Structure 1
């Protein structure tokens, strides 16, 4: 029996794989008449190594993320998704993507790219995608291939 998803979360980080996941999430949301939640997590660990914590740097990263999220929002609505929201969260991407955000928003499907931006982190502490697929309490779709349809361009 096929599930009909109602609350879809797509996690984006600016990578090609995340963009692929976004396109597929748009197609799934349209097909199911679902709400699409676009999520970007700013990893606060990246600011811990800055000797003098610069709030201007955090503000710049936040502004860049907001601009990118607005672009994703526009693409999803233009493609015909009726209900779209975006969120920018701060903290551990693994925990927020797999547990905190889905619980808070009643997510029944997480769509995520096979890999993200940071290959070094993947080698040292493990893939966010691997963690999400192993520990999330809802279905997870890991995107590896290009969407056949030209949906969210």
Structure 2
């Protein structure tokens, strides 16, 4: 039996890996029929701001504005590609639990499509990977995207 995913969640953080996951999620939703939807989530990790002594809410606002512009661009791309059921939310807190549990429960998510981690082995050991946590703790199926739309290993974009 072929699984028909109807409510796909894609965490978006501005990385190349997240963009690949978004593009594949749009393709999956389009294949799964007119009722399939993609919900993107960007999580502003508020813990990152706790150690800044001169904490200013404008910093969070700037991060939120940047995320909103990226997400608006992705919504426009999805709609131009023929997917009308696409939206997003911006959440605040710990990305791991928000992506693995909170948003999927609230949205009725049946598939999380998440980009492969960009962390190296030492970083994963010290701080842990959001992707790794989501694959272990999610309340629904998880697909880790490592390839482009042709299922070929995706080359990293060249740094400018």
TM-score by length of 2: 0.88
Instruction: Name whichever of 97-106 and 77-86 sits farther off.
Output: 77-86
Aligned to 1:54: 56
**Using the alignment, how far apart are the partners of 1:140 and 1:99 within structure 2?**
12
5+ unaligned residues in a row in structure 2: which ranges? 152-160
1:99 and 2:101 matched: yes
**What residue in structure 2 maps to residue 89 of structure 1?**
91
Shift of 1:37: 0.2
- Could you tell me how far apart the structure 1 residues matched to 2:149 and 2:126 are? 30
Show structure 1 runs of 5+ residues with no match: none
The alpha carbon displacement at 1:121 in A equals 5.0
What is the RMSD computed on CA atoms of the aligned residues? 1.5
Equivalent runs, 1:19-58 vs 2, <5 Å? 19-33=19-33, 34-58=36-60
Following TM superposition, by how much is the alpha carbon of 1:123 offset from its aligned partner in structure 2, in angstroms? 3.5
- 1:82, distance to aligned residue in structure 2 (A): 2.1
Show the 5 A alignment for 1:70-89.
70-89=72-91
Aligned equivalent of 2:126: 124
Query: Could you tell me the TM-score, scaled by structure 1's length?
Result: 0.91
* Counterparts of 1:93 and 1:23, CA distance in 2: 21
- The answer on 1:146 being equivalent to 2:131 is no
Instruction: Show structure 1 runs of 4+ deviating over 2 A.
Output: 118-123
Give aligned pairs, total.
148
2:2 — aligned with what?
2
